[in-house]
Structure 1
């Protein structure tokens, strides 16, 4: 089984199924497909049916799209409890994952994931205030039900879906409650996340489209080292 991923420092959608594979000790290998540089779009289109990452390869089967990959893994390894065992909790976990998949567009647009960086004060809080309020409410409700440290007690696919959002809160030091901050710390303490982050910090590549100083016009594209 192989997972095709993008640059670890930036690729939020790649991080999610990678965490599931790593945390639940499912044997796999990964391959990074560059998200910048000469010919990167053509190379991606040649390897991925959607010209996007991630893509899971399992024998002859090619599965694109993060949630589809996670569901395939859950079906393939039912002993791993990738989703909560309880039916009601599982429904809530899938609802939360679907909301993350389709929502929080302001945070995703204005605060791109960047695990190597620290950019306090660079995000217009008015632009992301509604998303911050919603994530506080959602996390607070679920953590109140489960008592933490993860949304449904033990780490699950729902937490994998929200892990990139947790990194945005830290990278840009966005104002959140103690409850939300504790959840961010729990994500960063997860061994699987630590393994991903360690590899991200070693990457030399820069993707200008995901660098806030380029996005906001502080530096010119192609000038970050």
Structure 2
């Protein structure tokens, strides 16, 4: 299997299935497709049916959507328990993953994933307060039921879906509870996440549209090194 991904520092959607593949020790290779630079949209469209990443390629099968990739992997490797083994937990995990997939737009737009950066105080908490409240609700409910360290005890696809949220909370030092901070620590301590992070920190590319200082007008596009 091959997973086509975007720049690791910024591509939150690529991170999600990559974590599943790496954590559950599934056989795969990855390939980074640029999300900026001359001709990047055309190059991406030539490899991805949707012109977006991630894309999973397994033989002649091409799957270009994060949740679909996770479901395919769960079907192909049922013994791995990519979703929680308990039927009720599995339903709740899928529900939370779908909510993450479709929502939290304020957090996404105002606090883009940027693993190399540290920008405390640069995102107004009022702009993302509703999303933060819902995150506290979801994480608190699941962690109190499971006892942690992950949402349903052991790491699952639900945690992969929320991993980029954990990075945003840390990058922008957003106000969260001790419970949420502990969950962020659990994500960062995951060996698979550490593998991704090490690679991301060594990437040379800068994407201006995902840099908060460019977004908020502090620096001109093309000036961040």
The alignment's C-alpha RMSD in Å is 0.3
Question: 1:219 aligns to what?
Answer: 219
Structure 2 residues without counterparts, runs of 5 or longer: none
Distance in 2, matches of 1:79 and 1:194, equals 24
1:23-73 deviation per Cα after TM superposition (whole angstroms, max 9, x unaligned): 000010000000000000000000000000000000000000100000000
1:43 aligned to 2:53? no
- CA distance in structure 2 between the aligned counterparts of 1:110 and 1:194, rounded to whole angstroms: 25
Q: Which residue in the other structure is 1:163 paired with?
A: 163
SS of equivalent to 2:84:
coil
The corresponding residue for 1:195 is 195
Q: TM-score, normalised to structure 2's length? A: 1.00
CA distance in 1, matches of 2:32, 2:14: 10
Q: Does 1:99 align with 2:99?
A: yes
Q: How does 1:122-201 map to 2 (within 5 A)?
A: 122-201=122-201
For structure 1, list consecutive stretches of 5 or more residues without a partner in the other structure. Answer: none
Q: Tell me the distance in 1 between the aligned counterparts of 2:143 and 2:84.
A: 14
Shift of 1:124: 1.2
Specify the alignment match of 1:28 in structure 2: 28
Q: Give the whole-Å Cα distance in 1 for the aligned partners of 2:123 and 2:60.
A: 44
| In structure 2, distance between residues paired with 1:221 and 1:65 | 30
Matched, 1:52 2:52: yes
Q: CA deviation at 1:219?
A: 0.5
2: CA distance, partners of 1:172 / 1:124: 9
User: TM-score, structure 1 length as denominator?
Assistant: 1.00
Output the CA distance in 2 between the equivalents of 1:136 and 1:125.
Answer: 14
